[in-house]
Amino acid sequence: MAQQLQAVVWTGTGVRVIDQTRLPGQLVYLDIDTVDELVAAIRRLSVRGAPALGVAGALGVVVAMRQADREGWSAGELARAIDRLRGARPTAVNLAWAVDQVAPLMPDGAAVLAAALRIQEQDAAANRAIGRLGADWLQARLRRPALRVLTHCNAGALATSAWGTALGIVRELHERTVLEVVYVDETRPLLQGARLTAWELAQAGIPHLVQVDAAAAGTVVGGLVDVAIVGADRVAANGDIANKVGTLGIALACQYAQVPFLVAAPESTVDLGTASGASIRIEMRDDEEVLVVAGQRSAPAESRAHNPAFDITPARLVTALVTEQRVLAIAAGQVPAGTNTR
Amino acid sequence: MAQQLQAVVWTGTGVRVIDQTRLPGQLVYLDIDTVDELVAAIRRLSVRGAPALGVAGALGVVVAMRQADREGWSAGELARAIDRLRGARPTAVNLAWAVDQVAPLMPDGAAVLAAALRIQEQDAAANRAIGRLGADWLQARLRRPALRVLTHCNAGALATSAWGTALGIVRELHERTVLEVVYVDETRPLLQGARLTAWELAQAGIPHLVQVDAAAAGTVVGGLVDVAIVGADRVAANGDIANKVGTLGIALACQYAQVPFLVAAPESTVDLGTASGASIRIEMRDDEEVLVVAGQRSAPAESRAHNPAFDITPARLVTALVTEQRVLAIAAGQVPAGTNTR
């Protein structure tokens, strides 16, 4: 069932996304045929995950063109709408990258749509390749018959076009019967780990334990974990990683405990135009995400929040980057160009 | 107002505690005159914090003696009730320590009560001394006119008998007008940071920002913090620290970023009978604390949790331990005996 799951699909007239804010309680789809609806869905994280944002962005260009036709927009109005879409979330590089891949094909609507669907197909194929390469790498290096994995946030089917990136490796290990258990960080404030990753693992029958994010360091240092595997929203040219806030803490614990720390992401996440993590813009989100927990205010009315959505993990803490093409030890230095289309 | 706050008081006939599970929404007191009620209040964290648990435990021996009188208990029944109280939570050493301080004075009820109240007075005095020593140490070492502090969980008035330990230092810095802001980790699963620490700081007019626990590493490594200050539930003879889960991750980030990591705790928290962190029993709590967030289930029904209440921070990650007697650099090795009563 989890393999049929599609976070983003083209219906023929618009984009259909799973409303990830409603999981795991309800599996609700949103049919979207305007740019404003799509931008809002991206901002509130109904659709999320760097590779899925790329697909949504590319298909969103088709949505924009159809809306422009329907509503008689000028070329300037269309360009501004596509810019809004391109910048709906700033940290994941895939969104802007995918828009930039397909937008030059305008005004040929069929070509734009074909290019967007090709991005989706390539991402699905990349997921499976990442799973195989990552599992091969782990099986060659680790000495336990079955591995105990820690992951953070959701880098699964819901974040991509197929099996997921980090969870693609987890699913592959499970298929090879060499997976013991997955420690799932709940991933506050929006609980993508507890709500989405645990849901995907439950659907796939993969044993897992949900923990508060603050438990991750103790789980790693306490010897309960053989490898940590996370996704990435952007990989800089020097190998620094932007990913969901909390990733850095896991990497620090892995370094301390000498546990491998793997980053799984398609080549489209590698941004050779960004020199290092210092130049990655970190999205700051609303106070209420932190201060209102499941509808109830946690802190006093006077309190404000500090709410970065991401953090930067320095390259030297990353044991290896797993893409659809390679398993690259980036702790040492620069990321050489892959064969992606940039 | 915060200075008048008393987490635990003796009413003349029983123990009155603030029900900390109701804060910050409501300030509700519980009047307790049976051992079972007190054990239940301790287990559900209505009363919590290592020093406050010590006071509650010592006064609880008086509660037990009075209940034994009222209900005609045998000596064996009384001893078993005191054992239940002593073991209500296993990780904080202060609870068992305080019970052991006063229980030998039985059956002299007045002597037991006097000894319990003395523990409370000494803890209040210790809070102020910790605040002064910690603030002195920081002012002598740090070069900024006003300090940015990170703290985790609640080591404040609600956890102690007066100003708090970690928050005692924060309050002292604020009184000296050398405090800029406090980053408050919300401290999942029970949100003692967002609910209790933010409330204490708001009451005292101290500027603060609440963040998810997963943000702590990025806040420290990103240069936003001059010092991290936490409390402790137990300090082993080699200087290893047991404290609220998440403490280890902060210590690792501080080590990486070369930011001082201070542990503030009274001498009664130092347990020379525990050789190292490896022999500290970590309390594992119910799955539901993690999986049910503000009354709503976060993860799928099939998911289980891993829910340790504490973690162990190795001594070599601790810049200094601040007690009412000394500021001790313990990263180097053993904790010498203080002048506490053990």
Whether residues B217 and A305 touch (CB distance < 8 A) is answered with no
- Is the Cβ–Cβ distance between A16 and A55 less than 8 Å? no
Cα(B229)–Cα(B235) distance, rounded to whole angstroms? Answer: 15
Residue A333: what pLDDT? 56
Residue A303: what pLDDT? 98
Whether residues B189 and A212 touch (CB distance < 8 A) is answered with yes
Cis-peptide into B107, omega within 30 deg: yes
Whether residues B214 and A249 touch (CB distance < 8 A) is answered with yes
Residue A72, pLDDT > 50, answer yes
Cα(B313)–Cα(B242) distance, rounded to whole angstroms? Answer: 6
Residue B2: what pLDDT? 41
pLDDT digits (tens, 9 = 90+) for A7-39: 999 999 999 999 999 999 999 999 999 999 999
Whether residues A303 and B249 touch (CB distance < 8 A) is answered with no
Neighbours of B275 (CB within 10 A): 14
Q: Which residue of B has its CA nearest to A255?
A: B252
Q: Which of A158, A248, A259 to mutate to test the interface with B (most CBs of B within 10 A)?
A: A248
Residue A294: what pLDDT? 85
Q: Which residue of A has its CA nearest to B286?
A: A211
pLDDT digits (tens, 9 = 90+) for A197-209: 999 999 999 999 9
Mean pLDDT of all residues belonging to chain A: 94
Residue A3, pLDDT > 50, answer no
Minimum-distance CB partner of B303 among A210, A217, A305: A210
Phi-psi region of B150 (alpha: psi -120 to 50; beta: other; left: phi over 0): beta
Cα(A110)–Cα(A123) distance, rounded to whole angstroms? Answer: 20
Residue B143: what pLDDT? 83
pTM of the model: 0.94
- Grouping H, G, I as helix, E, B as strand and the rest as coil, residue A168 is helix
- Per-residue HEC secondary structure of B256-268 comes to HHCCCEEEECCHH
pLDDT digits (tens, 9 = 90+) for A93-135: 999 999 999 999 999 999 999 999 999 999 999 999 999 999 9
Q: What is the pLDDT along chain B (342 residues), one digit of tens a residue?
A: 344 689 999 999 999 999 999 999 999 999 999 999 999 999 999 999 999 999 999 999 999 999 999 999 999 999 999 999 999 998 989 999 999 999 999 999 999 999 999 999 999 999 999 999 999 999 999 888 999 999 999 999 999 999 999 999 999 999 999 999 999 999 999 999 999 999 999 999 999 999 999 999 999 999 999 999 999 999 999 999 999 999 999 999 999 999 999 999 999 999 999 999 999 999 999 999 999 998 899 999 999 999 999 999 999 999 999 999 999 987 655 666 665 433
Whether residues A299 and B221 touch (CB distance < 8 A) is answered with no
- Is the Cβ–Cβ distance between A199 and A164 less than 8 Å? no
- Nearest C-alpha of chain B: how many angstroms from A252? 6
B-chain residues within 8 Å CB-CB of A224?
306
Whether residues A252 and B249 touch (CB distance < 8 A) is answered with yes
Q: What ipTM, to 2 d.p.?
A: 0.94
Whether residues A298 and B248 touch (CB distance < 8 A) is answered with no
Residue B341: what pLDDT? 39
Minimum-distance CB partner of B188 among A212, A222, A245: A212
Whether residues A214 and B246 touch (CB distance < 8 A) is answered with yes
Which long-range contacts link B129-133 to residues 24+ away (Cβ below 8 Å)? Answer: B129/B324, B129/B325, B130/B165, B130/B168, B130/B169, B130/B264, B130/B265, B130/B266, B130/B322, B130/B323, B130/B324, B131/B163, B131/B168, B131/B169, B131/B171, B131/B172, B132/B172, B133/B322, B133/B323, B133/B324, B133/B326, B133/B327
Residue A330: what pLDDT? 76
For A81, phi and psi rounded to 5 degrees? Answer: -65, -40
The residue that leads in pLDDT, A335 or A169, is A169
What size, in residues, is chain B? 342
- A-B CB pairs within 8 A amount to 203
- Nearest C-alpha of chain A: how many angstroms from B112? 38
pLDDT digits (tens, 9 = 90+) for A218-260: 999 999 999 999 999 999 999 999 999 999 999 999 999 999 9
Q: Which residue of A has its CA nearest to B152?
A: A214
User: Which residue out of B123, B233, B240, B271 is catalytically annotated?
Assistant: B233
Residue B92: what pLDDT? 85
Q: Is position B233 annotated as part of the catalytic site?
A: yes
User: A332 falls in which pLDDT band (50, 70, 90)?
Assistant: low
- Nearest C-alpha of chain B: how many angstroms from A282? 11
User: Which residue(s) pair with B240 in the sheet?
Assistant: none
Instruction: Give me the active site residues of A, please.
Output: 233
Cα(A217)–Cα(B132) distance, rounded to whole angstroms? Answer: 31
Cα(A202)–Cα(A210) distance, rounded to whole angstroms? Answer: 11
